[in-house]
Structures are given as structure tokens and as C-alpha cells.
Amino acid sequence: MFRRSRAFCLALAGALVLASAAGQAEARSRIKDIVEFEGVRDNMLVGYGLVVGLNGTGDSLRNAPFTRQSLEAMLERLGVNIRETNLNTKNVAAVMVTARLPPFTTAGAPIDATVSAMGDAKSLLGGTLLVTPLMGANGEAYAVAQGTVQTGAVSAGGASGSSITKGVPTAGRIAGGAIVERELGFQLASMPQMRMTLRNPDFTTARRVAEAVNGVYPGSAVVENPTIVTLRPPVGVNMVAMISRIENLAVDTDEPAKVVIDEVAGVIVMGENVRISTVAIAQGNLTIRVQETPAVSQPNAFSQGQTTVTPMSSVDVEEEKGRQLVTLRNGASLSSLVAGLNTLGVTPRDMISILQAIKAAGALQADIEVM
């Protein structure tokens, strides 16, 4: 029996060790999840175009002169002259078209486009975007968009003026509606070096990233500052092969002690490294109630007086009692702080005031960021 119990205890201890090791492994982050690789990013595209085929929900040409000018210019390019004529259509809307050009996208690849009305159009539902060049920040056209706009919204109105709208009918999307015409020409494989940018800058995390990379490619990673880690591939290894090898390496991230407070929503987020010096906390509520009760003053008979309303006020002051001081010892952790505040039964908004008071007392070893 003793041997069996001992074997069971050993097995249980081994399971606990494995569970602890698994928990530590899950806490680690991959390099690809905490850094941005230089040059590997999306590029913003924008264009101006016309949506046609609307069911009387387009721009009013009198209130949107840019729509009228664009319509006239487009028809002139197609050989139709409508200058000096009275245009009164409401089936056309001027729109801005935006898209994101992913990295390494080749010519001919489709990308999504977003269409948004510029004028006083009521809805883009069922409209068709005409050919619209999409340009980058350098003024060059990188894609061309065209297609049927899908708004995903519902809008209806009655003759009496009543209406109902669900969603935003003046903005829509064209899935795969833009075709890439020009490639960026970013040559990743031939780059002699690349910088990795930490999304949350930290000296310790940058050093750990460099150590993890140097464990695979010795001397290839150098920490320049808390944000930048520079990679230089060894001889015979191109940049693509190096990144594909190191991006899945696991690193233990570190973060500064910080308390983030959203006073509008009453939300508090505290990091794991928040520490509290020795401090005592007391919290109570003071409630003041003022009640106005109108009273009618009736004159005596034959006194020729008038009936008046006389206000009667009652003031009641109630102070909550029974709350004791909660003491947090030096170096108290986040769990101790939360447990102490929960003991007081404070609300999130009261907790915001308490944390700010602890910081003012110099007992909160963390930065407070108010959103």
C-alpha cells in the first residue's frame, strides 16, 4: 500500500511539473507576434469615382457641383457632350474609394475596395462603381477598382416623412473589386539587413529577442534601442530563409508596470508587475437626500385670503459605516491589491479614485495612464 501511494504521489508530482512547464510555455510569445518586420506592411490607396445606377438616392446635382462636373467630364471622354444642358438626375453619386495594398502583391491580384459617399446621397445600395484608379501617397496608380457596391444596410421611408435605417447605406464594400496594376518592387531576399520593430518597446524584451535569434544564427542580431533589433543574415543565407526560421522562436516578453484607466467607461486595466508599498486604504460613501414636498395653505372662511402652495424641504444625511482600513504591505502584488479593494466593496469608479490617491501618496509603483 505504501509503495502504491508513493508511486501515486510521484506520478502526481510529475503531472504538476509538466502542467507548470506547459503553463510557462504557453506564456511565451512568438517573435512574429511581437515585432514588425521592416518593409513588410500594407500600403494605403485612395481614388475618386462615380457610382451609377442608384434608385433616386444619389447626389442632388444642384447641391453637389463636383458630382455634376465629374459626370460631364466622364461623358465627354465617352463622346457625349452635355454642356449647357439641364441635368436633374439623382442616380449618380460621387464617392471616395479606398483600399489596402498588401505586401508582395503581384499584378493582377484582386483586393477589396471600400466606397464612401461624398455628397448628399441617401444610399449607395445597388449602385455600380465605374472604373476608378487607386493611387498611393506618391501619386502613382497601383490598382483599378470597379464593381457593384454592397452596403449591407437597410433603409426605407414613407410618404409622410417617416423612415428607418439599419446600418450605414452611404458606405459599402466591393469584395475583390480592385485589380492590382503595379507591384511595389520590394526585394526582400536581397536585403543585406533588416530591422525588427517591437510593438511594445522594452529593453529586456529586445535583448531576449536578440538572444533567441543569435542562438540560431550566432552574431546575426544586434539591439540598437528598446524598439529596434537589426538582423544581418550570415553568408549563404538570404533574408527570407532567415525570417522564416526565426519568426516562430518563442520569447518571454517583459512589460513595465502600468495602470490604464478609462474614466468615461469606468474600466481599469492593471499589469502583472504593478506593486504597492505599505499603505492603508479606507473608503466610504456619503449620501445626502433633499426632498421637496409641496404643502397647500388654505385660508379661513370669509377671510378673503388666497390658497397658496408652500414648499416643505427635508434634508437627510446618511454616511456609510462599518468599513475598516485595509492595509497593504510593502511590495504587495496585483492580486493583493485587487483582493484588498474587493474587501472594501468598491465600484470601478471608486477604484479609479483610490488608485489615483495611492499614486499621489507615492505608494503605487507603476505609471497611470488616463484615457
pLDDT at 291: 59
What's the pLDDT band for 11 if we cut at 50, 70, 90? very low
Q: Which residues contact 257 (CB under 8 A, 6 or more apart)?
A: 271, 273, 274, 275, 365, 366, 367
Lowest mean pLDDT among 112-126, 195-209, 341-355: 341-355
pLDDT digits (tens, 9 = 90+) for 75-99: 888 888 877 777 788 899 999 999 9
**pLDDT beyond 80 at 108:** yes
What's the pLDDT band for 308 if we cut at 50, 70, 90? confident
The backbone torsions φ and ψ at residue 112, rounded to the nearest 5 degrees and listed phi first, read -80, 150
**pLDDT beyond 90 at 213:** yes
**pLDDT beyond 70 at 206:** yes
Q: Which residues contact 84 (CB under 8 A, 6 or more apart)?
A: none
The backbone torsions φ and ψ at residue 339, rounded to the nearest 5 degrees and listed phi first, read -65, -40
Residue type, 334: L
Q: Which residues contact 169 (CB under 8 A, 6 or more apart)?
A: 57, 122, 123, 124, 125, 151, 153, 154, 155
pLDDT digits (tens, 9 = 90+) for 248-289: 999 998 888 888 888 777 788 887 788 777 767 666 654 545
Q: Which residues contact 94 (CB under 8 A, 6 or more apart)?
A: 48, 49, 50, 59, 64, 66, 67, 70, 117, 118, 119
**CA distance linking residue 67 with residue 76, whole number of Å:** 14
Burial 224-260 (b: 16+ CB within 10 A, else e): eeebbbebebeeeeebeebbeebeebebebeeeeebe
| pLDDT > 70: percent of the chain | 74
Minimal CA–CA distance to 196: which of 166, 231, 172, 171? 231
What's the pLDDT band for 214 if we cut at 50, 70, 90? very high
Minimal CA–CA distance to 276: which of 340, 231, 313, 330? 330
Q: Strand 308-319 to strand 35-37: parallel, antiparallel, or no bridges (unpaired)?
A: unpaired
pLDDT at 96: 96
Lowest mean pLDDT among 1-5, 227-231, 236-240, 256-260: 1-5
pLDDT at 79: 87
pLDDT digits (tens, 9 = 90+) for 316-371: 645 555 455 555 566 566 667 667 667 666 777 777 777 888 788 887 888 888 87
Lowest mean pLDDT among 9-13, 100-104, 145-149, 348-352: 9-13
What's the pLDDT band for 149 if we cut at 50, 70, 90? very high
pLDDT at 284: 63
Q: Which residues contact 53 (CB under 8 A, 6 or more apart)?
A: 91, 126, 127, 128
What's the pLDDT band for 158 if we cut at 50, 70, 90? low
**CA distance linking residue 235 with residue 117, whole number of Å:** 53
Note the Cα 275 to chain centre separation in Å. Answer: 28
Q: What is the pTM of this model?
A: 0.68
